[in-house]
Amino acid sequence: MTTLPIRTYGDPVLTTATTDVEEIDGKLAALVESMILTMHEAPGVGLAANQVGVQKRLFVYDKGDGAHAVVNPRIVETSGEWTYEEGCLSVPGLSWEIVRANEVHLKGYDLEGNELDIETNEYEGRIFQHEVDHLDGVLLVDRLTDEQRREAKRTLRKRRLALQRDDHDGLRQLLGE
């Protein structure tokens, strides 16, 4: 089991919708183990497969009670509103107050192929909405107000320019220095 590189803002894999998992097998279980390790080491509370470059409809999460995987998740119903400060492993170091639904009804499958049918709210519901957004090719910055989005893009542009000055050939980033 090894950690995986997390794709960050600007990587086109993050804005491409994923495809359904066709088969739940040992290969998928190994991917889930690596994703959980990656999520915990980042640290984060959720990680979608496309955030590690895998275009399959799958995410892992851990709201503090142990890690879980959801295969082919779909949010079938939402209601209410809840504003909460939200960050993203693919947009590291930044967070914003985001309005999302408070109550969420999610369906999917576990790693044994058993159907999941989860009705939840607040924090867990926010995790589900955030990760399903990733799987649909929607980034956190897409959920910002116009003013928040302008500021976020300025900050991200400055970061990218600083990286290019400090690491013009990308080797430092590639080598993890």
Q: Supply the residues annotated as catalytic.
A: 131
C-beta neighbour count of 175 within 10 angstroms: 8
DSSP annotation of 68? E
Q: Residue 36: which of 70, 67, 58, 64 has the closest Cα?
A: 67
Among 73, 86, 89, residue whose Cα is nearest residue 35? 89
Q: Considering just the CA atoms, what is the radius of gyration of the chain in Å?
A: 16
From residue 37, give the alpha-carbon distance in Å to each of 33, 46, 172. Answer: 6, 11, 23
Residues in the chain: 177
